[in-house]
Amino acid sequence: MDFFENFWSIFWWLFCVYAIFAFLYALFMVITDLFRDHKLSGWWKAVWIVFLAFVPFLSLLVYMVARGKGMTERSMAHARRDQEAADAYIRQVAAASPSDEIAKAKALLDAGTISAAEFEQIKGKAVV
């Protein structure tokens, strides 16, 4: 019998693929959390890694039950730090202060790149 002729065999195959990806995602999230947690000693991290290597499914469940709340807090703190860093970078790059714009325009005026009228126009836009 062909594999694709039976609906339930396709359904079972898709379920198994989904379960494997879910397991791998959870495994990588736990390993990431282990190394993100600075309060946990190196020995405890090694113990968790050994258990994850030899008893992976049970270790994942125990880790998520025992340390799930802390895992969420660390993940949210990391996301918050990343967002703050991105916001600071965007503010730094996107918005030049009026004095910076005037200084750049003055440098262009001194170099002869723009005329005095253009300098006044840029200065007027920067001040407003």
Q: What is the pLDDT of residues 19-74, one digit of tens each?
A: 999 999 999 999 999 999 999 999 999 999 999 999 999 999 999 999 999 999 99
Q: Where are the alpha helices (DSSP H) in the chain?
A: 7-36, 42-54, 56-94, 98-111, 116-127
Residue 94 pLDDT: 76
Report how far residue 124's alpha carbon sits from residue 127's, in angstroms, rounded to the nearest whole number. 5
Q: Are 60 and 52 in contact (CB under 8 A)?
A: yes
Buried b (16+ CB within 10 A) or exposed e, 66-83: ebeeebeebeeeeeeeee
Q: What is the pLDDT of residues 71-95, one digit of tens each?
A: 999 999 999 999 999 998 888 777 6
- 1, pLDDT greater than 80: no
Residue 3 pLDDT: 67
pLDDT: which is higher, 1 or 32? 32
